Amino acid sequence: MKNWGLVFVLVLVSCASPHPNEVEKRQFEVINYGLYITTTSWRDDHSSSPTGKMTRSGDRVHLETTTSIPPIIDTRFGVEYIVRSNNNRPVKLKFKWTPSTPIVGKLGKEYGEVSYEKIKKTNYLQYAGYILSIESELKTESWTLQIIYENEVLYEKEFFIN
């Protein structure tokens, strides 16, 4: 009977302890944001994108720390960040880009947001960016990026198109 009591106590203690893979706000660190030059590794079909594609960025160069984005096709902006973790396990993050007013995609569909989920390495410099690719993306006043982990907003930044 003593063994069962010990097992019960250990189970209770382990349930009360924080999960080692949790991401807390203090573990999410923004390194830089603003305008970038990026290379494109590849493009995937993506139905929630106004262009119908999602670009995977390769190398990048940070040009300027700013929230002021010029309304020019192929302008690239975003944020570099690190998710800190004690165990180096990857985490699933949701990225949500929201224009201040809905935009119209290439096929005439209206978009109030562009969102996607990605498995990201921890303790590694990452980038989340957006490329202004069509005219309607230039006509909104701003784009807001949210980076979300398990329904908790870890980071939010508004970029102004002007």
| pLDDT over 80 (residue 43) | no
pLDDT of residue 20: 46
- With cut-offs at 50, 70 and 90, classify the pLDDT of residue 7: very low
Arithmetic mean of pLDDT over the chain:
84
**Hey, how many other C-beta atoms are within 10 angstroms of the C-beta on 32?**
14
User: 140: Cβ–Cβ under 8 A, 6 or more apart, which residues?
Assistant: 99, 100, 101, 103, 161
pLDDT of residue 107: 87
| pLDDT over 80 (residue 77) | yes
Residue, of 149 and 42, whose pLDDT is higher:
149
| Complete domains list, the chain, with CATH | 20-161 (2.60.40.2390)
- 151: alpha, beta or left, given left = phi > 0 and alpha = psi -120 to 50? left
What single DSSP character describes residue 25?
Answer: G
pLDDT of residue 49: 79
